[in-house]
Each structure stands twice: as C-alpha cells, then as structure tokens.
Amino acid sequence: MIFQVIVLAGGLGTRVRELTKNDMPKVMLPIKGKPFIYYLFKFLKEQGLTNIILCTGFKKEVIKSYFGDGKIFGLNVIYSEETSPLGTAGAIKNAEKYIYSPRTFVFNGDTIFNIDIYKLLEFHIAKEAKISIALKYMSDTARYGKVVFDSEGSVTKFAEKGNRGKGYVNGGIYIIESEVINKIDKIPSSLENDILPLYIKKGLYAKPFPSYFVDIGVPEDYEKAKKEFS
C-alpha cells in the first residue's frame, strides 16, 4: 500500500515571529543552511514515506518556491493551500480531496520525533484505532499538556497545559482513519482541542516512544535544534 502523509505547515508561528520576521513560515527557519522542514522530509523519505500532502497557509509561497513538486528531493509533494487560518483539523479537512488511502499519517511540520512509524502503524491496526498518537515522555509537561492513557493504550484524558510535572505529551505524529476526516464539520477547528476529545474511549489510542524529539514552536527550542542537528 502507498501511504500518504499530511504535513501541517500553515501556522502563523506567532511565538517565533521575532525569528521569522514575518518573512517566512516557522517550518522554514534555517538550521545548518537548510529549512527545518527539510529535515522532517528527510526523516519521512528514510521511512519510505514519499507521498506528501503539504498543508500551507502563511507565506506559503516561500515553501513552494523551495520544494516545488519535491522531485529533486526524492518526494512527491502536492499542496493543500488555505487562504485564511483553518486550524489543524480544518487544514486536514481541506486536504481531504487529495486523500485516497483508508488511513493517513499526519505530522506537525514544526516537530521532529524520530520514531519508527511502522511500529505506530502496527499498534494502530492491532487496536483497530480511529486515531493513534505517538507520545513522548517529558519531565515537565507544562508547555504541552499531559496525555493520560490506560494499560491498553486507550486515551482517557487530556490534562490542561500549564500544569507542571512529568508525564507523556503529544509528539505531533498521528495516524487518522479517513472516516474521522470525513466527519470533521467545523472549520476553523483544532485537531487537539476539537477532534481528539471526541474520540476519548471511542477509538483514540496512544503509544509512547523513547526517540529523539524537538519542536521549534518556541525560540529556545529552535536554538536547541540548531545545536543538536548535525
């Protein structure tokens, strides 16, 4: 089966605007002379995921001019463009017209989480999940909010952001069944706030991974990525 990947790259990047200067999407912030999202695409290609639906919005022309159709990077990239902010769920819904597979991988474009995506897929199929999330353990979950799940991996609760303490956070990688995307009827809408809670104890599962994780959504983590990438 040919797997499709939705990459969410349409955000305004308000928390890193001092770095983007309003001239580029945050996924295009440079690291070692290449945009951050280049490294995400490299990770996807290494895992055999080369069919990418790239959801773009703010300064979308900057991404498009760099990657084009993706062929020179060994990828097949098509663009799902938004003219006004749709939210993460809205962006996925907007991309539905390009989806032909029964389930789709979804990645946050400002995050790299170096998991084995096929282990997440095996887990998703075994659980007959509607949505599966890759989780990362953090010593302090305040920035992200905590994901609580039972011994079977079924998500039971999302804790509010701002609460300090250790736990598991959403790593920004999902597998979503097409029937879930089909039922999204609110735009703009947030995947995290509007859609995931609907599936608690109704097909929403989560699997932890101990892999390397970085999210450049705030300046200090962008600086961290610049130091750590080689």
Q: Return the pLDDT at 20.
A: 60
User: Smallest Cα–Cα separation from 110: which of 125, 126, 88, 92?
Assistant: 88
Judged on CB neighbours under 10 Å (0-12, 13-18, 19+), 124 is buried
| Locus of tokens 């609580």 | 148
Into how many domains does the chain fold? 1
Q: What does pTM read for this prediction?
A: 0.95
Q: Return the pLDDT at 160.
A: 79
Q: Return the pLDDT at 12.
A: 65
- CATH number of the domain enclosing 45: 3.90.550.10
Q: Return the pLDDT at 15.
A: 61
How, if at all, do strands 155-158 and 147-149 pair?
antiparallel
Q: What's the Cα-to-Cα distance from 10 to each of 58, 132, 160, 174, 193, rounded to whole Å?
A: 6, 22, 24, 17, 17
Collapse the DSSP code of 36 into the 3-class scheme (helix H, G, I; strand E, B; otherwise coil) and give the result: helix
Tokens of 86: 């749709």
Q: What is the full per-residue pLDDT of the chain (230 aa) written as tens digits? A: 779 999 999 876 566 556 666 678 899 999 999 999 999 999 999 999 999 999 999 899 999 999 999 999 999 999 999 999 999 999 999 999 999 999 999 999 999 999 999 999 999 999 999 999 999 999 999 889 899 999 999 999 998 787 788 999 999 999 999 999 999 999 999 999 999 999 999 999 999 999 999 999 888 989 999 999 86
Domain containing 85 equals 4-228
